[in-house]
Each structure stands twice: as structure tokens, then as C-alpha cells.
Amino acid sequence: MRDWRYRLGEHRGTLLAFVFFILMFAVYASNHPAGFTANVVQTAANKGVLLALIAMAQTFVVLTAGIDLSVGMMLVLTNCLASAIVLGAPAMVGLGVAGVLLAGLVCGAINGAIVIYGRLQPIVTTIATGAIYFGVALAIRPVPGGDVDSDLADAFTGRIWGVVPASLVALLVVVLVIWIPFRRSAIGRAAYAVGSSAAAAYMSGVPVRAASFLVYVLSGLIAAVGGLFLTFITASGEASAANGGSYTLFSIAAAVLGGVSLFGGSGSAIGAIFGALMFRTIGDLLFVFDLEPLWQPLFQGVVLLAAVCLGSVRLFQIRNRLDLF
């Protein structure tokens, strides 16, 4: 393979995130009082997969140089919806799951329609639609509560054959069913092209609008999967603006840690997943090292700050000062 250097360059962010995650998780697992057991992995996986899903949802949009600040609110909305309708007889549970996923699709499609066909800036649009989704979530669940089918919840948060965390398998299925086909399809390549340069993509006859619209829809769908998962973990629904906001912030942070460029056109959802798992492990590391919980937010913030500052390493490669701008 003569082009290995280009391939390596393309996947550098993803590989770095993967290596960092493995290192951190090794430190975490080897210092955990209970050791590296299936139980420890299962708990870590459940917390990590939720974050990984939301980071994936963000990544789709960021690849086209957009941004979705309503991701957290879509998660909250689908969480509230799932806590109300994923209940009862097996057929009803199935319908409920379909309904939740459909709600995510619709939310994403609304974002996409306003941004692409209404020609508004994604930042402001998703701030406004986020408020609307939060309002709907509050209407569904004015006070925290609700329940979810416990068999289904146990199946998704438990272990398969007593070893493999089911949540990781579910995440793998999402990647195989949504991300891989997207990445390999013409419209997925179009999304990357739009992120690199929308004007050049348009000139080359790339379906710019279809690709930009699709990423918002997929983002909504994956946020809904995240919402379902959150419901499985907590077995309740809560319309909390603070939660929605912090999930949105996490999703951006995790995507950036995973090597996804906010300027669009580079990175992958796989990288974002490892970015999310890494971010999650940072928080857990404090716990095993017996640091006071009081210091946890500060530690997480400083690590985040240090991680994003790594992004300025490219400044050393700049020959012409004008390339700074």
C-alpha cells in the first residue's frame, strides 16, 4: 500500500483518541479496588455509551461544518417520551421504541429543514429549536418520573454471556447500521465534501442540500437512541434544562477530543466515540485515586482545557504567518 501515509493522516485523530482512551482505561482498571472485572467494565461501559451516542449525534452535523446545540434537548425530549410510552405488553413496547426513534427523526428533520431550506445559521436555529424541544419535554413530564419496561432495560444495560456489556454491543450495532453505511455511501462522502468546502462541492455537482439535511436527521435519530438508553439506565424521565445543556457541551467536547474538526470535513464518528469514552474515564480516574469529589469538576475542566490546547500544536508547522488567519 503506497498510500499508507495518507490513510494514517486521515485517521490520526481517531487513532490518538483510541490510544489515549486505552491508556487511561488501563490506569483506571488497574487501580480500581475491585480490579479488572466484568462488573467494572459493565458499569464503565453503560456510562460511556450514553456519552458516545450523543457525541456521535453531534459528529454527523459537525462534519458538514454545522453545529447542533439542540442535541442535549433532543436527548431530554426522547428520554421523557420513552419514560411515558416504552411500557406494557411486548407489542406496545416495540411501538413505543419506534415512536421514540421517530420523534428523534422528526426533531432532526425540523432542525435540518430550518437550517437548509430556511437558510438560517445552525447555531441560532438549534438554540431556538432546543428551547422548543425542551418545552415539549416539560409538557410530557412536568415532574421527574415515569418508568420503562424493565426486561428491555436489563437486556440493554446488562451483560451478554456474563462477560460482554450489552451496551457496547448496542453501540457497535449503531455504528454498523448507521455510521458505516453512511461513511461508505455517496451521500456520506458528499457530507464530508460539504464540510471541506460547500462552494466547491456545489460546483462539482455534489448533492449539497440532501447531504446537509441527512446529517441533521441522523443526528436526531442517534440522539433518540441516546435518549432511549438514558431511560434504560435511569428507568425514569426528567425534563431538566441543566442536563440538556451539559449533554450538549459534552457532545461538542467529546467530538473535539475524538479528532473531529469543528471546521468540518475531517474526523469520524468512531473517533468521537473514543473521545467520549476518554472524557468519561477522566471523571472516573478521580474516583479511583480517592481525590475529593469537590475537586472533580475543576480537574475535568483543566483536563478539557489542556486537551483542546493540544489542537494548537499545528501552529508549529505554519511557515507563513498569514496562514494563521
Partner 1 sequence: MKPPPMTTRGAQWRRVDPAVATAFGCIILLLLLGSLYSSRFLSPEYLLQQLKVASFLGIIATGMMLVILLGQIDLSVPWVVAVGGMMSTAATGWGPIGEALAIPFGVLCGVGLGLANGIGVAYLRLPSMIITLAVNAVAQGLMVVHTGGFSPQDSSSAAMRFIATGDTLLGVPNALVVWVVVGGATVFVLSRTTFGRAIYGIGNGERAIYLSGIQTQRVVLVTFAIAGGLSAFGGILLAGYASKAAQAMGDAYLLPSIAAVVLGGASILGGRGKYIGTVAGVILITLLQSILSVVQMEETGRQIIYGLVIIAMLLLYGRERLAR
Task: Quote the least distance from Cβ 161 to partner 1, whole Å.
Answer: 39
Q: How far apart are the C-alpha atoms of 10 and 151, rounded to whole Å?
A: 42
> Which of 61, 77, 252, 272 lies at the binding interface for partner 1 (CB under 8 A)?
252
Q: Which helix (H) or strand (E) holds 160?
A: strand 159-160
DSSP letter for 150, please: H
Q: Which of the residues 254 through 283 are near partner 1 (CB under 8 A)?
A: 256, 262-263
Q: Which residues contact 241 (CB under 8 A, 6 or more apart)?
A: 134
Query: Would you give the distance in Å from CA 222 to the centre of its chain?
Result: 8
Burial of 106 (0-12, 13-18, 19+ CB in 10 A): middle
Q: What is the pattern of x (binds partner 1, CB under 8 A) and - over residues 129-158?
A: xxxx-xxx-xx--x----------------
**Polymer length of the chain:** 325
Minimum CB distance to partner 1 smaller for 89 or for 305: 305
Q: Which of the residues 180 through 219 are near partner 1 (CB under 8 A)?
A: 198-199, 202-203
Question: Is position 57 an interface residue for partner 1 (rule: CB under 8 A)?
Answer: no
* Cα dihedral: 121, 126, 129, 131 (round 10): -130
Task: Quote the least distance from Cβ 124 to partner 1, whole Å.
Answer: 5
Task: Quote the least distance from Cβ 32 to partner 1, whole Å.
Answer: 24
Question: Is position 102 an interface residue for partner 1 (rule: CB under 8 A)?
Answer: no
Q: Which of the residues 15 through 44 are near partner 1 (CB under 8 A)?
A: none
Question: Is position 1 an interface residue for partner 1 (rule: CB under 8 A)?
Answer: no
| Count, residues near partner 1 per rule CB under 8 A | 53
Contact of 182 with 57, CB cutoff 8 Å:
no
